[in-house]
Amino acid sequence: MKLSLINIILSGLLAIVVISSWMLRVDYTQPNFEILPDMKYSTAWNAYAPNPHFPNGRTLQSPVFGTIARGELPLHYEATKEDAIRAGEELINPHGQITTAEKIESTASEDDSEQAVSLQEKLKADREESSKQYQASVTRGGELYRVFCNCCHGATGKGDGMVPQRGFPPPPSMLTGKSVQMKDGQLFHILTYGQGSMSEMATQVSPDERWDLINYVRSLQAKAPPIENTPDPKPEAELESKPEQDGGKTE
Ligand code: HEC
């Protein structure tokens, strides 16, 4: 076999590669040589990295005392009847129907200048949008109602759900009872803190969902015929003292 010059050079190069890689002996457990390291390490501190700039030595600091997370407004109420009424006066349904636009429109309609006409168009669009959002809220509330309230209050809100039919103290009808007169905020208080034999629903439905439920209850009340043929709701005192009054019925 005849060795050409090129073969000799290639064998020499191979020998150099093998010997130099044996001499360097790269440790694969260690990071390799880094080119442009600032691409790899950002100047921002990692959330859980130690940090010499804070007295407690941490990067991630706890929120300042009294911080309120977005959408998590605290409620300053007690589970009492007085506070339920106060909630009715103070709380505003964020998903409620907007009626102020109508008022502005009626005053604007007397003026037919270009500016007034464009304002009127804008208000009309706003009202359509808010009524769309209100309908969406009622739909969401309906789904939640079927999951969380049907069993006691019944599909139409009369208070004839399956649970009272099996002996639980029946809730008053939401179509004729006090809840028709109650303001949205008071209903919100009832859902948040409970009332009488109804337990609080705050652990099951978020604040937003509670307002959706209230809008749905309002839609049930609006659909109900003006004179309902349901029996009068039993007085509260009677409900509390004799919780199993219907338990023994056989019919
Ligand atoms: C375990 C059965 C039960 C469930 C579930 C339940 N409720 Fe009630 N609810 C009651 C009872 C009983 C009362 C009457 C409480 C009282 O005043 O003694 C009541 C009262 C109410 C009232 C006040 C009515 C009035 O005239 O005072 C409203 C409003 C109401 N519930 C809404 C709801 C909504 C909305 C849901 C679903 C998120 C719900 N409830 C889930 C049993 C229930």
How many angstroms is it from 198 CA to the middle of ligand 1? 5
In whole angstroms, give the CA distance from residue 166 to residue 152: 10
3-state secondary structure of 198: strand
Residue carrying the six token digits 């050409």 = 4
- The reply to whether 23 falls in a domain is no
Tell which phi-psi region holds residue 235, choosing left (phi > 0), alpha (psi between -120 and 50) or beta: beta
In whole angstroms, give the CA distance from residue 65 to residue 238: 46
Tell me the C-alpha to C-alpha distance, in Å, between residue 220 and each of 35, 70, 107, 152, 189.
68, 31, 32, 15, 19
Which residue's CA is the closest to the ligand 1 atom numbered 39? 149
Q: What residues make up the domain containing 199?
A: 81-236
- The reply to whether 35 falls in a domain is no
Ligand 1 site, residue 239, Cβ cutoff 6 A: yes
Q: What is the largest CA-CA distance in the chain?
A: 115
Tally of domains within the chain: 1
In whole angstroms, give the CA distance from residue 170 to residue 233: 8
pLDDT one-digit tens code per residue, 26-40? 888 888 788 888 777
- The reply to whether 33 falls in a domain is no
- The reply to whether 210 falls in a domain is yes
- The reply to whether 118 falls in a domain is yes
Ligand 1 site, residue 146, Cβ cutoff 6 A: no
What one-character DSSP code corresponds to residue 58? B
- pLDDT (0 to 100) of residue 105: 54
Q: Which residues of the chain have pLDDT under 50?
A: 228, 235-251
- The reply to whether 74 falls in a domain is no
- pLDDT (0 to 100) of residue 43: 83
- The reply to whether 102 falls in a domain is yes
pLDDT one-digit tens code per residue, 79-112? 999 999 999 999 999 998 876 555 555 555 566 7
The preferred substitution site among 146, 152, 246 for testing ligand 1, maximizing ligand atoms within 8 Å of CB, is 152
- pLDDT (0 to 100) of residue 110: 61
How many angstroms is it from 194 CA to the middle of ligand 1? 8
Tell me the C-alpha to C-alpha distance, in Å, between residue 151 and each of 43, 109, 145, 148, 236.
56, 48, 9, 7, 20
- pLDDT (0 to 100) of residue 103: 55
Q: Measured at the alpha carbon of residue 20, what is the angle toward residues 16 and 24, in degrees to the nearest 5?
A: 175
From the alpha carbon of 204, which atom of ligand 1 is closest? 38
In whole angstroms, give the CA distance from residue 144 to residue 213: 7
- pLDDT (0 to 100) of residue 78: 93
Side chain identity, residue 230: T
Ligand 1 site, residue 87, Cβ cutoff 6 A: no
Burial, 154: exposed, middle or buried (Cβ in 10 Å; 0-12, 13-18, 19+)? buried
Question: Six-digit token pair at 9?
Answer: 């050079």
Which residue's CA is the closest to the ligand 1 atom numbered 24? 179
- pLDDT (0 to 100) of residue 220: 95
CA atoms within 13 A on the CB side of 249: 11
- pLDDT (0 to 100) of residue 238: 46
Backbone angles phi, psi at 13, to 5 degrees: -60, -45
In whole angstroms, give the CA distance from residue 115 to residue 121: 10
- pLDDT (0 to 100) of residue 249: 35
Residues in the chain: 251
- The reply to whether 138 falls in a domain is yes
